[in-house]
Structure 1
Amino acid sequence: MDFNFDLDTIAVFKERAVDLLFQLGPVLLKSIILLLVGRYVIRFILKVFVKTLEKYEIDPSLATFLKSFLNAILWVLLIISVATTLGLEMTSFIAIIGAAGLAVGLALQGSLSNFAGGVLILIFKPFRIGDTVEAQGTLGSVESIDILYTKIRNFDNKVVTLPNGPLANNSITNYSQKPTRRVEINVGVAYGTDLKKTRNVILNVLKQDERIHADPEPIVKFTNFGDSSLDLTIRVWADAADLWPVYWDNMEAVKEALEQHEIEIPFPQRDVNHYYPEGKKE
């Protein structure tokens, strides 16, 4: 009797298994096909996305991050689609994910702002590694650009780390973006000096420096009546890399030329008149 019961039980299980197979088989097959096709589609989308980033010369570090981010989003969508095909209820699950995402977003608000700023900097490239920039009160050479922070090494070899959020939302002065820079030197000569002679002396000095561009040509202009001097402004153009050497060398060369031609470079002077209300005492 037990033997017959076991055979009957097995027959019932087989019948139910066959029914279940016919019910779930098409769904499972559909889910597997969806998974395989979705995997192929994800690879195709990522391939096109990477080619697009390369076409627009997006920074490699940003391109890698964006590719990984897009890959994660596509796989989450694919898994949700497969689970929905299998008949799983995803509404509550998606709501939980949304709530968790909101909480994490609020907790990481500052970091997300820096991340967005980093993306903007890497896409629009207001500066590159090696450029000399002035931003957020810091002047120096850009040492690295990461997703969240940018490091700038100033001229006394200190590294300043700036968050990308405020950096992307404020003014940035890039001293390296253009190949040429204007050098400006201010010189004061004594009152009574022949300005035409002084101008010629200075222009002769500038012509001897091959680093100074002929176009635009150097200029020397009288710009101000100072307290103790007639002020002249010298403006020349040079390659950006030669900016400070041209400035320093010509400051010294101009001084020596003025001294050779006996053109006085005055120091501040004051005339003091003493008033004696009761008459000067001898």
Structure 2
Amino acid sequence: MDFYSIDFYVERTIKFLIAYSPKVIAALLTLIIGLFIIKMFRKLMTTLMTKREMEPTLLKFLTDLFTWVMRILLFVSVVTKLGVETSSFVAIIGAASLAVGLSLQGSLSNFAGGMLIILFKPFKVGHTIEAQGVNGTVMEIQIFVTRILTGNGQTVFVPNGALSNGVITNFTYQGNRRAELTISISYSSDITVAMKIIQHTMEENPLILKEPAPAVAIKELGANVILVMRPWAKNADFGNMTSEILRQCKEALQSGGIEIPNGVSEIKIKND
């Protein structure tokens, strides 16, 4: 039968291609032009934001966000050019988006938290913070998590939702940081002399800032006299300063004849 002949199928195919080719060509042109426009828009947006000295994390996030939005719009336009009904297509996308949103409520909370952190900037990359029981340097602020490097070299990923809703201690924000260090002396020692020695030692330390000035005070009268030192230092020098000043104060107090208890208690038993 002619219906099953090769000529019949060839003729049908040619007619189909002739009838459908304008839509395919229009869709291809839309895709090519659209991708070119998206690429140029991304470059232009990056250049403008860089000139305005925008935060790198916010710059990358916004460019990625606008790029994906434009890609989705381009995809819908291409599908429309091919003759697909957009109303049903959009309804499917909406239903899928609702299902995904309900299943990813925690991720959406982290996404919103990332947006708040990027916009309000409670900390930046390179800052030393303490939050959610983690203390370390912020290495990267991602959309869903923040990557923190702790002092012992561990990498911790903290969800942005918890970060944005919790208490954040930023040690870098002010540029300087104050230490509160304690040292004990014996009751038999002269407290005034000990405080003068500590004050002089702190003032001579090059890592301790002159302003705000360091201070020493009596913190507690317990088993021994406990003195508290409050020196200020730059964030970069803070760790070295705390270790160095404790060593220097111990040596200075011992050289000045101030007795530092060793933590061992003497118990005397009196026999009647």
Task: Please indicate, yes or no, whether the TM-score normalized by the shorter chain is above 0.5.
Answer: yes
User: Does structure 2 conserve the Cα–Cα contact (< 8 Å) formed by 1:62 and 1:119?
Assistant: no
Structure 2 equivalent of residue 104 of structure 1: 100
Q: How does 1:107-256 map to 2 (within 5 A)?
A: 107-226=103-222, 228-256=223-251
Alpha-carbon distance between aligned partners in 2 of 1:157 and 1:45, rounded to the nearest angstrom: 40
Distance 1:254 1:47, change over 3 A: closer
Residue identity (%): 36
Distance 1:205 1:128, change over 3 A: same
> Mind listing any 5+ residue stretches in structure 2 that lack a counterpart?
1-22
User: Does structure 2 conserve the Cα–Cα contact (< 8 Å) formed by 1:118 and 1:149?
Assistant: yes
User: Does structure 2 conserve the Cα–Cα contact (< 8 Å) formed by 1:183 and 1:247?
Assistant: yes
Alpha-carbon distance between aligned partners in 1 of 2:203 and 2:221, rounded to the nearest angstrom: 27
Structure 2 equivalent of residue 62 of structure 1: 61
Structure 2 equivalent of residue 18 of structure 1: none
* Aligned-residue offset at 1:131: 1.7
Residues 95-149 of structure 1, C-alpha deviations (whole Å, 9 max, x = no match): 3332221112112222222222222222222222222111211111222222222
Alpha-carbon distance between aligned partners in 2 of 1:271 and 1:223, rounded to the nearest angstrom: 25
- Root-mean-square deviation over aligned CA pairs: 3.4
SS at match of 2:135: strand
Alpha-carbon distance between aligned partners in 2 of 1:49 and 1:116, rounded to the nearest angstrom: 23
Q: Kindly name which structure, 1 or 2, has the bigger radius of gyration based on alpha carbons.
A: 1
* Aligned-residue offset at 1:50: 6.0
Residue type matched to 2:127 in 1?
D
- Equivalent of residue 258 in structure 1, options 242, 246, 253: 253
Residues 214-256 of structure 1, C-alpha deviations (whole Å, 9 max, x = no match): 2222211112111x21111111111111111111111011111
TM-score (norm 2): 0.73
Alpha-carbon distance between aligned partners in 2 of 1:160 and 1:47, rounded to the nearest angstrom: 33
Alpha-carbon distance between aligned partners in 2 of 1:45 and 1:242, rounded to the nearest angstrom: 44
* Comparing 228-237 and 160-169, the one that deviates more: 160-169
Alpha-carbon distance between aligned partners in 2 of 1:221 and 1:127, rounded to the nearest angstrom: 33
Alpha-carbon distance between aligned partners in 2 of 1:88 and 1:256, rounded to the nearest angstrom: 84
User: Does structure 2 conserve the Cα–Cα contact (< 8 Å) formed by 1:49 and 1:67?
Assistant: no
Residues 159-200 of structure 1, C-alpha deviations (whole Å, 9 max, x = no match): 112222222221211112221111221111111322211111
Distance 1:102 1:199, change over 3 A: same
> Mind listing any 5+ residue stretches in structure 1 that lack a counterpart?
1-27
* Aligned-residue offset at 1:49: 6.6
User: Does structure 2 conserve the Cα–Cα contact (< 8 Å) formed by 1:223 and 1:233?
Assistant: yes
Alpha-carbon distance between aligned partners in 2 of 1:73 and 1:140, rounded to the nearest angstrom: 38
Residues 60-104 of structure 1, C-alpha deviations (whole Å, 9 max, x = no match): 321222221442465478679x78xxx996544433332221112
User: Does structure 1 conserve the Cα–Cα contact (< 8 Å) formed by 2:45 and 2:63?
Assistant: no
